[in-house]
Homo-oligomer: A and B are copies of this chain.
Amino acid sequence: MQRTEISTYGEFGLIKHLTEKFKIENSSTLKGVGDDAAVLSFETKKVLITTDLLLEGIHFDLVYVPLMHLGYKAAIVNFSDIYAMNGTPTQITVSIGVSKRFSVEDLEQLYAGIEMACKKYGVDLVGGDTSASLTGLTISITCIGQADENKIVYRNTAKENDLICVTGNLGSAYMGLQLLEREKVVFAANDQAQPDFENRDYILQRQLKPEARKDIIEMLAEKGVIPNSMIDISDGLSSELIHICTQSNVGCRIYEDKIPINIQAVIMAEELNMSIVTAALNGGEDYELLFTAALEDYDKILTMDGVAIVGHTTKSEYGLQLVGREGEELELRAQGWNSLDE
């Protein structure tokens, strides 16, 4: 495979080369890449800003994550935060730090993934920074979005007796990660080994190429449901539900048997002798949405494909309860995947 050294381009040439394929598609983008700052116009809409820093060896392992997937996921993770406000992502900036280990072709792969995500979600790349790095790959993405002020949904506005709803299923991305980690160990012991990925495509995709729940945000708008509170599930259901409840000063009661789980994730968990419920509660990286909604929206929510009601909020003095399959009550704890504990 061809290998072009990054130094061939120089900083400005490289940014131009990597970003020139991106098209501007939003009317809110007045000026994208190429000046001291991008210029955006949001008229009467409010502006949402979120940012994520991804570091090699902490957030991703290039041994099993292809660069194109990494680019895709890095963008999606940010879009997900904007959807979690009930908004629409419109622009991103992408900064990267790269060591000499990486070639121009590597970065083209990374940006191809970012471009694919931008195209699918209708987001414009409007700026960024490119720098040398002494060690590995650093990716910093900031996402800008828009929303009508009266539709923005916060974390700290859940009410007592709200329905607690979860989209998609949980724990799959974590089980995908466990599979990749296992195959990495096998490969390290025997580099002729072929990875055993049969019938694992779904959990692998959830880990390597997650999607953000644009469809759910559109469905909520269609059905006329504005959640009372919402957050995206990046660190596991427990951790996110604790954020909502403590910040909203309510308690909660969720039911283990209501937590949506995919069959591939169950099989993988059994094979690895792990608890799929623990993976769903604490696994992270699902990028599903957790929201609470008023009881009056119950009928509407029942008609929403891909949304499961897993419990309800309570008075705060009742605490945060998980009701097990046998009716036993457990206190919810955050053991979320925390990149500071590495």
Contact = CB atoms under 8 A, between A and B. Distances in A.
A37 interface: yes
A285 to B, nearest CB: 14
Interface in A39-63: 39-42, 46-53, 55-59
Given A55-B131, A131-B58, A87 B37 contact: yes
A51 B127 contact: yes
Interface string A70-99: 000000000001101101000101011100
Contact of A51 (B11, B31, B52, B128): B128
Contacts of A14: 340
Number of chain copies forming the complex: 2
A154 interface: yes
Nearest to A43: B44
Interface string A131-145: 111111010101111
Nearest to A56: B134
A128 B142 CA distance: 9
A37 B58 contact: no
Given A49-B142, A95-B52, A138-B97, A132 B342 contact: yes
A41 B149 contact: yes
Interface residues of A, number: 72
B95 A340 contact: no
B37 A84 contact: yes
Contacts of A341: 7, 10, 132
A255 B214 CA distance: 56
A108 to B, nearest CB: 16
B131 A85 contact: no
B154 A53 contact: no
A231 B50 CA distance: 26
A30 interface: yes
